[in-house]
Amino acid sequence: MEFIKEVIRNRRLIFRLGKNDFKNRFASTSLGSIWGFLQPFVFMIMYVVVFQFIFKTTGEGNSPYVVWFLPGMAMWMFLNDNIIGASGAIRSYAYLVKKVVFPVDVIPMISIVGNSIVSIFLFLIAAIVCMAFGYMPNMLEFIYVLVSAYAFVISITRLTSAIVTLVPDFSNLLSIFMQLFMWATPVVWGLTMISEHTTILTIMKCMPFTYLVTAIREVFMGGTILSDGHFIYTIIFWVITIVLFVWGNHVFKKNKKDFADVL
């Protein structure tokens, strides 16, 4: 497709601007890019301290809460930061849209690359902690889950980036939705807590956010997201992702010509 060809053609530009995007967020601070890693790290550690050491919570399957929690939270922060960041990227890079000939399609990818720097760090921290507790990640499944997460983020932000560009207020609504999804997704709570409510449980498992958070935990806790029990949800996830991409691609291409006028 045209979008994929555009990304491949401009991959070096995307990576270069993505790296600069990450650096420029903290350019005016003394610690610079360190803040990009420090803030989410402290956020994750505080959750661990509160739930494992104060509330004495354990993870599902009687695993240490830190082993159960960190991979899921790392995935959620990856999804949240990339969706919010990429959705507003075209407005952030308005000067590229208005003043120069630039492939507008790849602008959300710049934000995704910039946010990925922190995401990789968080996944690395989760992996180190899990291995310290004796939980070894399945690297093949980790690659699959990571590819799945990027596919979903690119698909949904193909739609949301176009909407935010045309309707700026949608960015605030999107932030609210992501906060709601955070608590509706089993990030700090487990699916076993609603096991008696089979209808709600089934609906929750069909959500892409739940699929990805559950998948990254399976990677670190010895399960497999590609097993028979998860197969139907894998199909549902990819159907939703493909539908979002086709829909978002249509909306983006249809309205791309108007971006410069509304910025």
Domain boundaries, position 13: 2-262
Least confident of 8-17, 38-47, 52-61, 144-153: 52-61
Q: Which range has the top average pLDDT, 61-65, 112-116, 150-154?
A: 150-154
Of residues 129 and 34, the one with the higher pLDDT is: 129
| Cα distance between residue 47 and residue 49, in whole Å | 6
54 within 8 A of 156, measured Cβ to Cβ? no
Question: How high is the pLDDT of residue 188?
Answer: 84
The identity of residue 46, as a single letter, is: M
Counting residues of the chain whose pLDDT is more than 90, the rounded percentage is 41
242 within 8 A of 232, measured Cβ to Cβ? no
pLDDT, tens digit, 9 for 90 and up, residues 85-133: 999 999 988 888 876 678 889 999 999 999 998 889 889 988 888 888 8
Please tell me the total count of domains within the chain.
1
Angle subtended by helix axes 65-87 and 107-132, to nearest 10: 170
pLDDT, tens digit, 9 for 90 and up, residues 243-252: 999 999 999 9
